[in-house]
Amino acid sequence: MAYSIAEIAGFTGGSLIQDHAAGEIQYLVTDSRRISFPETSLFIALQTSLRDGHKYIREAYNRGVRFFMIQHDTLPPEIKNVSCLVVGNTLEALQLIAARHRSRFQYPVMGITGSNGKTIVKEWLFQLLQPDERIVRSPRSYNSQIGVPLSVWQMNSHHSLAIFEAGISLPGEMQQLQHIIQPTYGIFTNLGEAHNEGFSSWQQKLQEKMLLFKQVQLLFCAIDDERVKQAAQDLEVPLFTTGHTKEADLYITGTERAAHSTSITAIYNGQQRTIVIPFTDEASVRNAITCWAVLLHSEMPDDSIAERMLLLQPVDMRLQLVQALNGCALINDSYSFDLSSFAIALEFLQQQQQFHSKTVILSDLPEHTPEPVYHAVAHMLAQKQVGRVITIGPLWQQWKAALASLPARVEQYTGTAQFLQQVNANHFRNEAILLKGARLFAFEQMVTMLARRVHQTMMEINLSALSHNLKQYQQQLKPGTRLMAMVKAFGYGSGSAEVASVLQFHQVDYLAVAYADEGVDLRKAGISLPVLVLNADEAAFETLVQYNLEPELFSFPVLQSFLHFLEQQALESYPVHLKLDTGMHRLGFESHDMPALKALLERYGNRIAVRSVFSHLAASEDPAEDAFTGQQAARFRENCHKIQEALGYPFIRHLSNSAAIFRLPALQFDMVRLGIGLYGVDSANTHQLSLKTVATLTTTIAQLRNVKAGETIGYNRRGQLSRDSVIATLRIGYADGYSRKLGNGNGKVWIKGQLAPVVGTVCMDMLMVDVTDIPGITENDLVEVFGPNLPVQQVAEWSGTIAYEILTAIGQRVKRVYVEE
């Protein structure tokens, strides 16, 4: 459904200051990096605490956008022949547009909220109802003040059902989302601890969430929680209740868990009914009961419900990037297929700039998808200049005309089975491969064929968590303060190029590495951001210049050698960074060096262009050392002033590391250096930043054995058992980076919700843990070595070190899997 710019002006009460663009608006865009259909897109310049969308108008214009909605009353002078709408608040206008769009459709809309389980319930309902309905739903976890209107905008007359989730973190937000979603049916998942910090009490949070349902025809909710029961009844809307009490409409009478499934028995309308789901955890049982209630209300036959519940698939709505055979990288996004998630996946593919060749493997879109959507997918592929497109499924063959104009090489297969019969891993070499398809096409078989075989110890790097942490620190910065991100030491164990690609996407100002070779790897991976090399020596000068890397100069011998090198090469104004020693006493020019440094800069200053002057705080995380930190800052200011006098031009000053960004905002100067905090470790222990875990190290159980009391475990018989025990051997050892200091009970791992102590000495490739007290353990069970349940800081404490060492010690043979939510 398309709208004219004049109609949009009418919805929002805005004023058209220019109206020269032809055509109508079909897409709303708030991110200039994610524009797929510029000719029919309206770029909305949102203003948030982190970013002003007006700064990206030029970028959107250069990408072909000609419709704009802004809060300012002027455009850059070079922006011509466009249609531009000025409104008082662009976020409120976006929400008004979505609400007006929603009001044009009469088919049912389900609105889901709660503390946990919103996305799971939404996706399971999609799986369960898809055979009977043409469903539009929130992409991924688009449940915010921005995400909800963008989700609702997807509604069109082709659909017969909409399912949207709504999440809030502050009072007043749900009122806006209710007006946009206007749900026919409501689903409340549960009341938990998430986002408590935004509300004065759980009562306020619950009341705010319930505002989504104030006009629904029916609300589905569980009434085991008395708080939820009372709040739902206070709404005075019809209820469909679930719970373990007889008053519930769906009265749960029992759950019986097997090894890999759970049988749930209930009474509904006086009859006993049973479903089996392929999950055993409590959250999945709760979410399945919610979905069961919706199916029963829809009068779906019991046999159909039982069949579909048994086929429920896990919901992992994350992009996964893994190493593949023949020098390839594989991006697995084979959970679902819609235009919104496809645009995100394509953007992630484009970020893998270390690969010149890119291939996209696509399944058919969901059944009943009209032909124009296939043409839209083809348009997106052409715009991103994908080199090869492989389609899987009969509908792509039916609509193959959509692919006719692609510059890419096109291959088509009737199904996954035919692809696997006719193609092997040698079909791909030194390229990035995106798998994008619906679940029913079983693309996981392709993953098995293409992914590099490595042992089962794996470190998952959550790139969305990394982006979240970046934003948390950016919110602490004063206006205009730049940010340098540290990606040295293989990105603190997380992978330099992959992390740098995300940071480049989020437009940080600088990257920093330890050695020139690390900078070369970034350049070869397509990273174009300025890169500071912290440890540059004479042997690396040629490499620095060849790859446009900027050295740290920290002593007279290094500075003079580099000046001599530049003179030999006839180079002038080469970018460099001067390091000052203000109290760390590791590297840098000291205060007594300033006269000689000034003289050298005045004499040879034309050879170099000083981009920044910086120093390193010795104890920024320690309040007891704040007086010393203040002394460092004073020396830094004084010496920067002297260097400024010598140079005669301004440069960037930076002193703050991760801890200082939050603890000592007065020391932010012109730029800050974000290191370990980016990876989710709060070195200052403030606990006031909502950081997320970036790196999760997991392994699996190789073998279980019963060992009698008095027996010993491992080398040198150091692990003696005081009782009959169940011992699990894990596929990880000190060659993977698991310290021998963690042996003999010093360290623990997380298995099935409990800690299991290490028994005996850590081996090169294995270690043993005591799982006697953990029920239901089986071989090949997943084990968390560190991650969200077992923080890396705790593992570091057990081994008598710091989180930096634990992260950077993880061996290269441990597979890194990158995920983006």
Residues labelled catalytic = 488, 715
Q: How many CB atoms lie within 10 A of CB 299?
A: 6
Altogether, the residues listed in the chain come to a count of: 821
Going by C-alpha positions, the residue among 755, 759, 731, 738 that lies closest to residue 811 is 738
Angle at CA of residue 167, ends 343 and 201, nearest 5° = 160
Query: Rounded CA gap, 129 and 305, in Å?
Result: 10
**387 to 257, 382, 383: CA distances (angstroms):** 48, 9, 11
- Give whole-number Cα distances, 352 to 345, 410, 510, 524, 776, in Å: 11, 21, 19, 11, 41
Backbone angles phi, psi at 10, to 5 degrees: -65, -40
Amino acid at 373: V
Write out the DSSP string of 362-392: EEPPSTT--HHHHHHHHHHHHHTT-SEEEEE
Distance CA 472, CA 687 (A): 12
CB-CB contact of 761 with 740 (8 Å)? yes
450: number of Cβ within 10 Å:
24
Give the pairing of strands 695-707 and 782-786: antiparallel
Using CA atoms, how far apart are residues 561 and 403, in angstroms rounded to an integer?
57
For 36, the enclosing helix (H) or strand (E) is none
The DSSP code for 452 is P
HSE at residue 632, side-chain half, CA atoms within 13 A, is 26
**Residue 637 annotated as part of some ligand binding site:** no
671 is in an annotated binding site: no
How many CB atoms are closer than 10 A to CB 81? Answer: 10
Residue in the block written with tokens 């990096």:
33
Token pair, residue 787, equals 């991650």
| Counts of helices then strands in the chain (DSSP H, E) | 26, 38
Q: Please report where in the chains the tokens 């270390």 appear, as a residue.
A: 354
Residues 6+ apart with CB under 8 A from 792: 681, 695, 786, 803, 806, 807
Dihedral, CA of residue 28, residue 30, residue 33 and residue 36, to nearest 10: 0
For 324, half-sphere exposure in the C-beta direction (CA atoms, 13 angstrom radius) is 25
Considering Cα of 435, then 439, then 443, then 448, what sign does the dihedral take? positive
* Nearest-angstrom CA–CA distance, 157 and 152: 13
Number of other CB atoms surrounding residue 464 within 10 Å = 17
Phi–psi pair at 324, nearest 5 degrees: -120, 175
Torsion 516-517-522-528 (CA) sign:
positive
Give the 3-state secondary structure of residue 259: coil
Q: Which residue has the tokens 């608040």?
A: 89
Q: In what order do the strands lie in the sheet with 135-137?
A: 135-137, 161-165, 109-113, 185-188, 218-222, 239-243, 250-257, 262-268, 271-277
Provide the annotated binding site: 586, 764
Provide the annotated binding site for substrate: 586, 764
